[in-house]
């Protein structure tokens, strides 16, 4: 412990400053302009008809892209509505099936009075259809 306390501590304070200065200098040394930021990359404006034609192509491209995006959104909305409709129909079918099963269960568990039993059996025999 005596050795560590006798050592000067100023190097601990300067280390982060020196590290930051070193990285900043190397980062600044590598700093170069991007290719697109140089004026020579844009070229000469050329003929005004060519410029207007290029601008018109850009406008048509943007219009086409906007139309396609709107069309895709409309398709997605329509598909979502169809899916929702299909789910509702499926739920309705399942509910009808469950109601039919419940009604069948109630009818099958219904007690028939002794006096009506024979007539109910005869009626059931008459109402059956041959396969």
The model's pLDDT over 17-76, given as tens digits with 9 standing for 90+, comes to 666 555 555 555 555 665 656 655 556 667 788 888 889 999 999 999 999 999 999 999
Enter the pTM of the model.
Answer: 0.40
pLDDT category at 111 given cuts 50, 70, 90 is: confident
Tokens of 62: 């943007």
Whether 25 is in a domain gets the answer yes
- Kindly state the average pLDDT of the residues 4-8: 59
pLDDT digits (tens, 9 = 90+) for 64-105: 999 999 999 999 999 999 999 999 999 999 999 999 999 888
- Chain-centroid distance, C-alpha 31: 39
Is pLDDT of 1 > 50? Answer: no
C-alpha to C-alpha distance for 57 and 64, rounded to whole angstroms? 10
Q: Which of 88-119 are b and which e, b meaning 16 or more Cβ less than 10 Å from the residue's Cβ?
A: eeeeeeeeeeeeeeeeeeeeeeeeeeeeeeee
- The domain of 31 spans 14-114
Instruction: Identify whether 5 is part of a domain.
Output: no
122 and 130 in contact (C-beta within 8 Å)? no
Give me the pLDDT at residue 69, please: 96
Structural domain count, the chain = 1
CA 33/CA 36 separation, integer angstroms? 8
**pLDDT above 90 (res 109):** no
């Amino acid at each position: 412990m005596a050795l560590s306390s006798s050592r000067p501590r100023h190097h601990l304070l300067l280390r982060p400053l020196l590290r930051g200065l070193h990285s900043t200098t190397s980062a600044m040394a590598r700093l170069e302009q991007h290719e697109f930021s140089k004026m020579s990359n844009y070229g000469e404006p050329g003929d005004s008809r060519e410029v207007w034609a290029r601008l018109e192509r850009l406008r048509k491209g943007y219009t086409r892209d906007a139309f396609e995006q709107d069309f895709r959104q409309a398709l997605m909305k329509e598909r979502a509505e169809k899916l929702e409709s299909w789910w509702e129909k499926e739920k309705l079918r399942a509910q009808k099936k469950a109601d039919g099963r419940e009604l069948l269960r109630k009818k099958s568990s219904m007690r028939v009075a002794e006096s009506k039993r024979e007539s109910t059996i005869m009626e059931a025999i008459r109402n059956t259809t041959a396969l």
